[in-house]
Structure 1
Amino acid sequence: MADITTSPMPTWLDGSHISPEWMNKVANLGPCSSCSAVDISNETRKADVHAKDGATLRVIIHGKDTTAAQQKPLIIKQVPDQGLGLSKRLGLAREALFYHHFSYELPRESTPIIHYSYGDFAKGEKCIIMEDVQDAVDSGILFGPGNPNNWNRDLPALISQAGWNNHDSPAPSSREVALLTFREIAKIHAVFWRNDKELLLTPDKTWLRGQEWLQGKGKDSWEASQDLVRNLWIAYLEAEKKSNEPIIQWNDNVRKAVEKAVANISWEAQLKRLNVDGYYTLVHGDFWPGNVLWMTKESDRIKLLDWEMVGLGSGPQDLGQYVISNMDPVERKGCERELIEAYHRELNNQSIDVPFEYCWREYQVGGVERWLWFLVYFLGNGMAEWAYFFHNQISAFMADHKLTADDITQPRP
Structure 2
Amino acid sequence: MSPRPPQKRGPIARRGRTGGEAVIDGPEAITPRWLDEAIAPQGVSRRRGEGGIESVNVQEIGEGVGQLSRIFRVEIVGGEDYPASVVVKLPSDDPQAFRMCRRMSLYRREFLSYRRVTPALGVATPNLLFGEFDVRTHRFVLVLDDVANWWYGRARGRDQLQGADASEARAAVRAVARIHAPFWGQTDRTSESGSEARTAKAPSEHPLSEFREIFRPLVRWALQFVYVKSLPAALARFPEAFNSRHREFVAAFGPFVAAQLAAASSGPKTFIHGDYRLDNMFFSSREAERFAIVDWQAAAIGCGLYDLAYFVCTSVSRALRPRIEGELLEEYHGELCVRGVREFSIEKCRELYRASVLACLVRQVIVAGSANLDNERAHRLTQTCLRRTLHAIDGVDGWAHIASAGRRSALGWAVTRLAHHAARWGSARGRTQAGPGLRTGG
- What TM-score results when the alignment is normalised by the length of structure 1? 0.71
AA at the equivalent of 1:405: W
Q: Give the equivalent residue in structure 1 for 2:169.
A: 178
Compared with structure 1, are the counterparts of its residues 319 and 82 closer, same or farther at alpha carbon in structure 2 (3 Å cutoff)? closer
Matches of residues 128-277 of structure 1 in structure 2 within 5 Å? 128-133=142-147, 134=149, 135-140=154-159, 144=162, 174-198=165-189, 205=208, 208-210=211-213, 214=216, 219=218, 221-236=219-234, 247-248=239-240, 250-266=242-258, 270=261, 274=265
The residue number in structure 2 matching 1:89 is 103
AA at the equivalent of 1:56: I
Structure 2: distance between partners of 1:318 and 1:76? 26
With 185-194 and 392-401 compared, the bigger mean Cα shift is at: 392-401
Alpha carbons 1:136, 1:295 under 8 Å: kept:
yes
**1:298-317 superposed matches below 5 A:** 300-317=289-306
Match of 2:387 among 392, 395, 408: 392
RMSD: 3.9
CA deviation vs aligned residue, 1:292-324 (integer Å, no higher than 9, x gap) = 101125562011111111112221221221122
> Which of 73, 77, 99 does residue 89 from structure 2 map onto?
77
Structure 1 equivalent of residue 357 of structure 2? 367
Whether contact under 8 Å (2:283, 2:292) holds in the other structure is yes
CA contact (8 A) 1:287 1:322 kept: yes
User: Judging changes above 3 Å, is the alpha-carbon distance between structure 1 residues 12 and 43 closer, same or farther for their aligned structure 2 residues?
Assistant: closer
Segment of structure 1 superposing worse, 383-392 or 363-372:
383-392
Contact 1:320 1:363 in 2 (8 A): yes
Question: What is the number of residues matched between the two proteins?
Answer: 353
Q: How has the CA–CA distance of structure 1 residues 10 and 37 changed in structure 2, closer, same or farther, with 3 Å as cutoff?
A: farther
CA distance in 1, matches of 2:21, 2:286: 35
Counterpart position of 1:15:
28
Matched with 1:159 is none
- Alpha-carbon distance in 2 for matches of 1:86, 1:295: 34
The whole-number CA distance in structure 2 between the counterparts of 1:387 and 1:64 is 42
Query: In structure 2, what is the equivalent of residue 103 of structure 1?
Result: 118
Q: Secondary structure at the match of 1:257?
A: helix
Cα drift, residue 59 of structure 1: 2.2
Q: Secondary structure at the match of 2:142?
A: strand
1:60–1:72 Cα contact (<8 Å) kept = yes
How far apart are residue 19 of structure 1 and its match? 5.7
Deviation at 1:256, TM superposition (A): 3.6
Contact 1:97 1:119 in 2 (8 A): no
Cα gap change, 1:182 to 1:128, in 2 (>3 Å):
same
Q: Once the two structures are superposed, what CA deviation does each residue of 1:106-159 show, in whole Å capped at 9, x if it has no partner? A: 22x522222223334652222221111222111336x73xx6xxxxxxxxxxxx
* CA 1:191–1:15: 2 relative to 1, 3 Å: same
- Superposed counterparts of 1:47-62, under 5 Å: 55-62=70-77
Letter in 2 for 1:20: R
- Aligned partners of 2:288 and 2:383: how far apart in 1? 36
Secondary structure (helix, strand or coil) at the match of 1:196 reads: coil
Amino acid at match of 1:396: H
- Please say if residues 294 and 303 of structure 1, whose CA atoms lie closer than 8 Å, have aligned partners that are also in contact: yes
Matches within 5 A, 1:283-322: 283-297=272-286, 300-322=289-311
Choose from 328, 346, 364 the match for 1:356. Answer: 346
Deviation at 1:102, TM superposition (A): 0.8
Task: Show CA shifts across 1:153-188 (max 9, x none).
Answer: xxxxxxxxxxxxxxxxxxxx7110010111111011
Q: Structure 1 counterpart of 2:361, which letter?
A: W
Q: Which amino acid aligns with 1:189?
A: H
Asked whether the 8 Å contact 1:318–1:367 carries over to 2, the reply is no
Structure 1: runs of 5 or more not aligned: 47-53, 148-172, 241-245
Matching of residues 108-119 of structure 1 within 5 Å? 110-119=124-133
C-alpha distance 121-314 of structure 1, shift in aligned 2 (>3 A): farther
Aligned-pair identity (%)? 19
Partner of 1:150: none
Give 1:264 shift: 2.3
Q: Gaps (5+ residues) in structure 2?
A: 1-16, 190-196, 374-378, 413-442
String of CA shifts for 1:375-406, please: whole Å, max 9, x gaps. Answer: 343145597866654443234323333x0323
1:407 equivalent in alignment to 2:401: yes
Q: Aligned equivalents of 2:79 and 2:110: distance in 1?
A: 32
